[in-house]
Structure 1
Amino acid sequence: MNKQVNTAQTILARLGLTADVLQGGNLTVTSPVDGAELAHLAETADMDAVIARAKVAFRDWRNVPAPRRGELVRLLGEELRAAKDDLGALVSLEAGKILSEGQGEVQEMIDICDFAVGQSRMLYGLTIASERPGHRMMETWHPVGPVGVISAFNFPVAVWSWNTALALICGNPVIWKPSEKAPLSALACQVIFERAVKRFGEDAPEGLSQVVIGGADVGAAMVASKDVPVISATGSTRMGRAVGPVVAERFGRSILELGGNNAMIVAPSADLDMAVRAIVFSAVGTAGQRCTSLRRLIVHESIRTELVAKLVKAYASLPVGSPLDPATLVGPLVDMDALKNMQSALAAARVQGGVVHGGEPVTEGVPAGGAYVRPAIVDMPEQSAIVQTETFAPILYVMGYSDLDQAIEMQNAVPQGLSSCIFTLNMREAERFVSDTGSDCGIANVNIGPSGAEIGGAFGGEKETGGGRESGSDAWKAYMRRQTNTMNFSDELPLAQGVKFDI
């Protein structure tokens, strides 16, 4: 048994995952750190039973007052604080994130719990002016039913919490289908949730939160079920194209947070040192495997040569290695297929006229069995086909522009559109970028990179699929149904003009 497996077993035991859960199944879970096998999980066999439990839980949970529902989420936040170190380490082991990113992801879970606790007392509806005398209109918001959550490997715990904290305070149970590449983190979260439920008491029904394990067929059963009215799915646009039409066909509701071929425009007035720091963080964080990773750099021709030189120098100094080493800044790709896809993309970029800096596999000074690579900068003559194709790896394509209209057109010219940004000290350029004639992405930042989002703002909205909003802001409405009520406090009932009858 290698040191890492021993470390993983210790962490899993502290998180409450026992051998009977971790062994005996057909789904093998490996670590991207070195390919070591961490568990063999049993797949969920009866999705009908899972959904039935959620339906029963919904009937009870919706009758619990919303502030009381918020108390459960408050307790979940406390349990996450207590488990932060171990859960963050498990994220590193299972998803390959460096330790600080694993810890940071758990902190996002804690933050959304804090947000949702307050939101549980603010599920407000509007009072609406009526055109009829002696009448008042108002809107009320009601729980909608079980919420299905499908998450990707790159954010194995935060995505669940963004959805679940809000779904719970809105009165809905949750069924979570994690990525087959990161199911252990999901099982650990379920144990942590159950600890909160135990402290909360009998108001929390059985089946309020369930984790289902398996491949695409497990997710497909949830997506197709009319008894799961909301499906929140995070992943690739390919996955979104499969999920969206099925949910729409049964008149369900989709919250889709999908891939982002995200761009940064660097204007002549930009603070280049600040821009370089933002570029490196956004492009190489999580080894370029975030949906908000920076993938396209659109630079004014007057500063292009200088900026590329600064980036090449910075990239050469990045420590690549085990994510468990505190000195590492770039961990592994999730698996060998991701490494092959990256090398194929770089080969295509060369054919299309690109000059590649870096991008080679790293085999020395890293754990054997992992897919380690040096991040790549590709100087491109134009925004060619490969640039418009999102590759989930640390590849940064650099292109030039001459005027802002051209830059914004390039920014918007790809089908993906989750996040975007501009670096400029020119107020007119900044305001233009965030206007209705600027970026068409769900996130448009000024003087900060595209990667990462604060809990207070609902996360993104991906343009190719109509988008989805989860996490903070007004995202709670996606987990509820709106009802309009008309209150007649007059002594008459308005009828159509000329209609009369005797009573």
Structure 2
Amino acid sequence: MPIATVNPASGETLKTFDALGAEAIEHRIAAAADRFRQYRLTGFGERARLLRGAADLLERDAPDIARTMTTEMGKPVAQARAEALKCVKAMRWYAERAEALLADEHPAEADVADSGAAHARVRYRPLGVVLAVMPWNFPLWQVVRFAAPALMAGNVGLLKHASNVPQTALYLEELFRGAGYPEGCFQTLLVGSDAIEAILRDSRVAAATLTGSEPAGRSVAAIAGDEIKKTVLELGGSDPYVVMPSADVERAARTAVTARVQNNGQSCIAAKRFIVHEDVYDAFAERFTAGVRELTVGDPLDESTDVGPLSSEQGRADLEELVGDAMSRGATALCGGARPEGYERGWFFTPTVLAGVTDAMRVHTEETFGPVATLYRVSGVEEAIALANATPFGLSSNVWTRDEEEMRRFVRDMEAGGVFFNGMTASHPALPFGGVKRSGYGRELAGHGIKEFCNATTVWLGAEPDATTS
């Protein structure tokens, strides 16, 4: 795939970039390794000062970088600004809390004595150079939620961003440099996916994190496993959105629209499968479909647009194939189901609600990465949980119920990295984020995320022999 900015609203190639050659890649890896040896010794106060500086610059730049993101991958510009400001929040959160999150841990005195030590503690130390392989759909947020904790822990980063967001990728390097980070702390590598293996196998690269597709995750995990290097993977999702009889159906339906079409439907944690109890199915389906039908599809740089284009022509083709397969096998489009009229250019797709979905359809098990929702009718909690778990993915889940016993059941039995009640899944700096099954492993954000790329080091000091018994 060429490294280029291609406007998905028009299909026009705006700017192309040459991939770095072997000599340039070597120079950047060497700079990262050299910098780590010094940067790991900086105190939390200095790291926090640098990260706060980056947050201030990003807050200033938010309107401009939002337009860049929108031009490169198509998200509505209001959502792009919100993404930039969310990154600002996360940077400040880690600048404020990292020292406490990574404070030495002290076992109970009785356990220390039982181990034969006079003193013992656990200290968190950085691993080194971390390679981040990041996707296009949240081109700032996906990077910052790795970079902020990693830098605060004393690691340094190499970013291999998606090839269709090169200007956003370069901005990120400029952002950290502009904040005063020393050369080599955070660098962008404009390279194709074919360069990842050699970089990851380099002995100076300590670990890797990837957000992206399942095939990409398998590839990086296999290489890292062969090299015995730590990885964190956040892969695809087909999140369930369960609505039970005790729910506020009107609010559940209204929230469901945003939960499905956020980021033009191109979000791993977007709700995709809407599993509704038969007692409230008709009321929910009517309200949800009406809300989806009212969405404004159009130019993502227009402030009034709700849904912009998909990020690529191939992405739209894949979505059309899934919808076509479902409808050919008996599914009904309650709204949408095709490209919108009047858009000869760009990769637009009308927000769609599919009913009558069965396990014979590909859309039942495959992730729909675009504004397409599938509706299911169930008879009770058991069926709802079974259907929610009937997917190879397990990123997050949404459940609408006021019944406390049902809540306990869903928390106990849902196969997912999160269970969000009476609201939609969202990531927040204070909450660990990640999945199970084919949605990956490891966690980002919160204290869990900052410790992923740390060496939990046991420090043990032996007790002096008792002179009276020696």
Question: Is the CA contact (8 Å cut-off) linking 2:76 and 2:306 kept in structure 1?
Answer: yes
Instruction: Report how far residue 225 of structure 1 moved.
Output: 2.7
SS of equivalent to 2:290: helix
List gaps (5 residues or longer) in structure 1.
1-25, 198-203, 494-499
The residue that corresponds to 1:58 in the other structure is 36
Q: Percent identity?
A: 26
Which of 325, 328, 351 pairs up with 1:351? 328
AA at the equivalent of 2:125: H
The residue that corresponds to 1:138 in the other structure is 121
Matches within 5 A, 1:343-492: 343-357=320-334, 358-364=336-342, 366=343, 368-386=344-362, 387-435=364-412, 438-450=413-425, 452-464=426-438, 466-491=440-465
> In the aligned structure 2, how far is the partner of 1:28 from the partner of 1:164?
23
Would you say 1:225 and 2:223 are equivalent positions? no
> In the aligned structure 1, how far is the partner of 2:391 from the partner of 2:106?
41
Question: Is the CA contact (8 Å cut-off) linking 1:260 and 1:462 kept in structure 2?
Answer: no
Instruction: Report how far residue 134 of structure 1 moved.
Output: 5.6
Distance 1:479 1:133, change over 3 A: closer
Would you say 1:155 and 2:134 are equivalent positions? no
SS of equivalent to 2:393: coil
The residue that corresponds to 2:50 in the other structure is 72
Would you say 1:44 and 2:20 are equivalent positions? yes
Give 4+ residue runs of structure 1 displaced > 6 Å after superposition.
none
Would you say 1:126 and 2:105 are equivalent positions? yes
Question: Could you report, residue by residue, the CA deviation over 1:89-127 in whole angstroms, capped at 9, with x for unpaired residues?
Answer: 211111111011101111121011111112332112221
Instruction: Report how far residue 29 of structure 1 moved.
Output: 2.0
AA at the equivalent of 2:446: G
The residue that corresponds to 1:168 in the other structure is 151
Question: Is the CA contact (8 Å cut-off) linking 2:134 and 2:212 kept in structure 1?
Answer: yes
Which of 150, 173, 181 pairs up with 1:190? 173
> In the aligned structure 2, how far is the partner of 1:38 from the partner of 1:161?
25
AA at the equivalent of 1:287: N
| Larger mean Cα displacement after TM superposition, 465-474 or 45-54 | 465-474
Instruction: Report how far residue 465 of structure 1 moved.
Output: 5.6
Instruction: Report how far residue 489 of structure 1 moved.
Output: 4.1
Question: Could you report, residue by residue, the CA deviation over 1:44-95 in whole angstroms, capped at 9, with x for unpaired residues?
Answer: 1123332111110110101111221121111111111111111112111111
> In the aligned structure 1, how far is the partner of 2:440 from the partner of 2:120?
30
Question: Is the CA contact (8 Å cut-off) linking 1:69 and 1:120 kept in structure 2?
Answer: no
Matches within 5 A, 1:287-298: 287-298=264-275
> In the aligned structure 2, how far is the partner of 1:334 from the partner of 1:157?
15
Matched pairs, number:
459
SS of equivalent to 2:340: coil
AA at the equivalent of 2:104: G
The residue that corresponds to 1:201 in the other structure is none
Distance 1:156 1:427, change over 3 A: same
Instruction: Report how far residue 311 of structure 1 moved.
Output: 1.9
Which has the bigger relative contact order, CA under 8 A and spacing at least 6? Answer: 2
Matches within 5 A, 1:263-342: 263-342=240-319
Distance 1:167 1:453, change over 3 A: same
> In the aligned structure 1, how far is the partner of 2:402 from the partner of 2:116?
54
Matches within 5 A, 1:93-132: 93-122=71-100, 123-128=102-107, 129-130=111-112, 131-132=114-115
Length-normalised TM-score, structure 2: 0.94
Question: Is the CA contact (8 Å cut-off) linking 2:415 and 2:436 kept in structure 1?
Answer: no
SS of equivalent to 2:245: coil
SS of equivalent to 1:148: strand
Question: Is the CA contact (8 Å cut-off) linking 1:257 and 1:462 kept in structure 2?
Answer: no
AA at the equivalent of 2:406: E
Question: Is the CA contact (8 Å cut-off) linking 2:249 and 2:283 kept in structure 1?
Answer: no
> In the aligned structure 1, how far is the partner of 2:123 from the partner of 2:115?
20
AA at the equivalent of 1:185: T
Distance 1:69 1:467, change over 3 A: same
Matches within 5 A, 1:228-239: 228-239=205-216
SS of equivalent to 1:359: coil
> In the aligned structure 2, how far is the partner of 1:59 from the partner of 1:363?
57
Instruction: Report how far residue 314 of structure 1 moved.
Output: 1.6
Instruction: Report how far residue 137 of structure 1 moved.
Output: 1.7
Distance 1:132 1:152, change over 3 A: closer
Distance 1:488 1:416, change over 3 A: same
Distance 1:50 1:40, change over 3 A: same
The residue that corresponds to 2:8 in the other structure is 32
Instruction: Report how far residue 327 of structure 1 moved.
Output: 0.9
Question: Is the CA contact (8 Å cut-off) linking 1:67 and 1:169 kept in structure 2?
Answer: no
| Larger mean Cα displacement after TM superposition, 126-135 or 279-288 | 126-135
